[in-house]
Amino acid sequence: MSYRVAYERSIADPAGFWTEQARAIDWIEFPPTTLDRDSRGDYRWFRGGKLNTCALALDRHVDSGRSDDVALIYDSPVTRTVSRFTFRELRDRVAKVAGGLVELGVQKGDRVVIYMPMVPEAAIAMLACARIGAVHSVVFGGFAARELAIRIDDAAPKVVLSATCGIEFSNVVAYQPLLEEALRLSRHSVNHCVILERPQCRAVLREGRDLDWVTWETASSAVDPVPVDANDPLYVLYTSGTTGKPKGVVRDNGGHAVALNYSMKAIYGVDAGDVFWAASDVGWVVGHSYIVYGPLIRGCTSILYEGKPVRTPDAGAFWRVIAEHRVKTFFVAPTAFRAIKKEDPEARLKSNYDVSCLKYLFVAGERLDPPTYHWLDQILDAPVIDHWWQTETGWPICANMAGFPLHAIKPGSPTLPVPGYALAVVDDDGKPVDANVEGNIVIAAPLPPGTFPTIWGDHDRFVEAYWSRFPGYYLTGDGGYVDDDGYLYVMGRIDDVINVAGHRLSTGEMEEIVASHPAVAECAVVGIEDADKGQVPLGLLLLKDGVNVEPAALEKELVQMVRQSVGAFANFKRAVVVKRLPKTRSGKILRQVLRKMIDGNTYSVPSTIDDPAILPEIEATLRDCGIVGR
């Protein structure tokens, strides 16, 4: 089947298309219906089907004679470790950890928060939850205590699984103080914390509440997978929205398994036995879909890499991993290659390794800037494939699909919509725009299987944030255009979400933190272009009347506040005092105009602006600080 036939069939007959894909995985009870609507009118996939995601990822391969094949490779240059887990070994550890959770009182539907670095136990923890029908919520290890507390309060877990530390380059980042602080800040109280003690940092266990991971796992009894409904939640993953409160993106079991299984072959061109590597973190959606669930469900070998693109030990780290483990498809954020390019512009270190095994390089998480694309294209024999997706969708919306003959690559475009996604670009009134005209990127309902059915505990927000602006269409939050050949170009967010080194952050959230400083009357945080990280946040501040502070000292305090509240990875490093902020007459801060002005792009001054003289005034201030014209 050609891409075109597959795509058109998926749009004309979604139920028929996805019933076929559903047959490719093992169900305990095959779903009686593929697509219908629930009492709220929302589309549901595979209602009434029963399955277990952990069994699909592990037991199925053990039972089909692949027990001794390698499921997971843990490659950790920061601890100088490489270890391998066969499907049987991984299944056995997961079954015991699942048993340990049951012994702690965790039942189907209960939540478990996982706050862990990139160690195999993080994947084991996720799969163990899936095995017993518990709902995991993984929190990225770079988040500070306040963010962890917000997630603990929203997910209300019975148990937190954590470790004593993560390792950033050579720095040991202690997790337990952050976890303790988060538990102190949160209103919800958890019954137990299980702590994995790593040799780099000793555990401090609180009697009655905390357990040592190894003792706990060793003492527990293995349990079998339990059947869950296709629509039962598998996990909640929090992502930044436009307000200070993150959104708990819910993933259900059935659609997720079907979509990921399909995507591995159709998009990434891999099948059982192939080695697939996504260099991300289990705390992000890429880690969920393409370090843990997707590759394992498809029967591939997945790599869990605890290292960086550079300085672990050098800019040849990626080439070493690809060559050593014979990676066929590699997936990473462009920012990682920008870091490599900076340290090794001629890619000299690549010649130390045989990377001929690499058939496809996929990049996503942020725009693939053409200079990085051309650099990669020059140094690699494999095609460099940009693809576009979001936490909400859980798997790619647009890609050059390796399961079909590849389309011509156009730098700057993630190519064509993947089967299941009825993509459109509309103007602010919801009318489709012509080719090459920029607008809001939307997707007509129903979204395909695997995409999020709701926001945890807040279905109204799901409807309001994503489905109310253009009824019948999902609002992606991205703007862009489609060219004459149907290729999509994603030009950036149309809301207050920014993307820093492939990490999604809310400027609204940072504004709340900055505005809580006693000297600050008002502030705007905008994402400005950065050659290494894609975007970085910049704070613009108005001081309260009569406040007399040294701007440099205030900036230092604010930078520290954001580090301590959100995390260092937010890269909030500049906060500049201005006299006024540009606003509309109704008082809305013109963030988009500010962003364009700071980046030196052309912008039109909206007719609704309160006072047009403010813009040149701010421009002059920012030029003095070296921000404009950088």
Cβ contacts of 70 within 8 Å, gap of 6 or more: 84, 85, 86, 301
Residue nearer to ligand AMP on the CB measure, 426 or 576: 426
Among 269, 295, 502, 534, binds ligand COA (CB under 6 A): 502
Residue nearer to ligand AMP on the CB measure, 229 or 366: 366
Which residue type is seen at 450? Answer: G
| H runs (alpha helix) in 435-542 | 459-462, 507-515
The CB-of-406 to ligand AMP minimum distance in angstroms stands at: 16
Helix axes 551-565, 507-515, angle to 10 degrees: 120
Residue nearer to ligand COA on the CB measure, 97 or 285: 285
Stretch that binds ligand AMP, among 84-92, 132-140, 188-196, 362-370 (CB under 6 A): 362-370
Which of 506, 505, 529, 524 lies closest to 514, judged by CA?
524
Nearest-CB residue to ligand COA? Answer: 502
With beta carbons less than 8 A apart as the criterion, state whether 97 and 124 touch: yes
For the residues of 358-419, what is the DSSP string, one character each? --EEEE-SS---HHHHHHHHHH-SS-EEE-B--TTTSS-SEE--TTSPPPPP-TT--BEEPT
Among 53, 76, 239, 335, binds ligand AMP (CB under 6 A): 239
Stretch that binds ligand COA, among 9-17, 231-239, 241-249, 330-338 (CB under 6 A): 330-338
| 141 counts as binding ligand COA under rule CB under 6 A | yes
Count CB atoms within 10 A of the CB of residue 522.
17
| CA distance linking residue 402 with residue 265, whole number of Å | 8
Residue count, binding to ligand AMP (CB under 6 A): 19
| 129 counts as binding ligand AMP under rule CB under 6 A | no
Among 338, 504, 533, 591, binds ligand AMP (CB under 6 A): 504
The CB-of-332 to ligand COA minimum distance in angstroms stands at: 6
Cis preceding-peptide flag for 446 (omega within 30 of 0): yes
With beta carbons less than 8 A apart as the criterion, state whether 170 and 159 touch: no
Region of 341 (left: φ > 0; alpha: ψ -120 to 50; beta: rest) is alpha
For the residues of 33-71, what is the DSSP string, one character each? -SEEE-TTS-EEESTT-EE-HHIIIIIHHIIIIITTSEE
With beta carbons less than 8 A apart as the criterion, state whether 234 and 135 touch: yes
Residue nearer to ligand COA on the CB measure, 330 or 462: 330
Stretch that binds ligand AMP, among 288-296, 306-314, 370-378, 386-394 (CB under 6 A): 386-394
Among 333, 416, 562, 614, binds ligand COA (CB under 6 A): 333
Among 36, 42, 168, 438, binds ligand COA (CB under 6 A): 168
| 414 counts as binding ligand AMP under rule CB under 6 A | yes
Residue nearer to ligand AMP on the CB measure, 76 or 476: 476
With beta carbons less than 8 A apart as the criterion, state whether 82 and 73 touch: yes
| 501 counts as binding ligand COA under rule CB under 6 A | yes
The CB-of-275 to ligand COA minimum distance in angstroms stands at: 19
Count CB atoms within 10 A of the CB of residue 110.
19
Stretch that binds ligand AMP, among 305-313, 380-388, 432-440, 446-454 (CB under 6 A): 380-388
The CB-of-231 to ligand COA minimum distance in angstroms stands at: 27
| CA distance linking residue 295 with residue 156, whole number of Å | 29
Among 335, 390, 451, 499, binds ligand COA (CB under 6 A): 335
User: Is the Cα dihedral 438, 441, 445, 449 positive or negative?
Assistant: positive
| 116 counts as binding ligand COA under rule CB under 6 A | no
Residue nearer to ligand AMP on the CB measure, 85 or 375: 375
C-alpha dihedral, 212 to 303 to 282 to 252, nearest 10°: -110
| 265 counts as binding ligand AMP under rule CB under 6 A | no
Q: Which two tokens stand for residue 67?
A: 């027990």
Write the interaction track for ligand AMP spanning residues 269-298; mark x where CB under 6 A is met and - where it is not.
Answer: ----------------x-------------
| CA distance linking residue 363 with residue 534, whole number of Å | 14
| 490 counts as binding ligand AMP under rule CB under 6 A | yes
Residue nearer to ligand COA on the CB measure, 225 or 537: 537
With beta carbons less than 8 A apart as the criterion, state whether 498 and 507 touch: yes
| CA distance linking residue 254 with residue 48, whole number of Å | 10
The CB-of-509 to ligand AMP minimum distance in angstroms stands at: 14
Stretch that binds ligand AMP, among 268-276, 385-393, 448-456, 539-547 (CB under 6 A): 385-393
Write the interaction track for ligand COA spanning residues 219-258; mark x where CB under 6 A is met and - where it is not.
Answer: ----------------------------------------
Which helix or strand (DSSP H or E) is residue 183 part of? helix 176-185
The site for ligand AMP (CB under 6 A) is made up of: 239, 285, 364-368, 386-388, 390-391, 414, 477-478, 490, 493, 499, 504
Write out the residues near ligand COA by the rule CB under 6 A: 141-142, 166, 168, 173, 279-280, 284, 286, 308-310, 333, 335-336, 339, 365, 501-503, 533, 568-569, 571
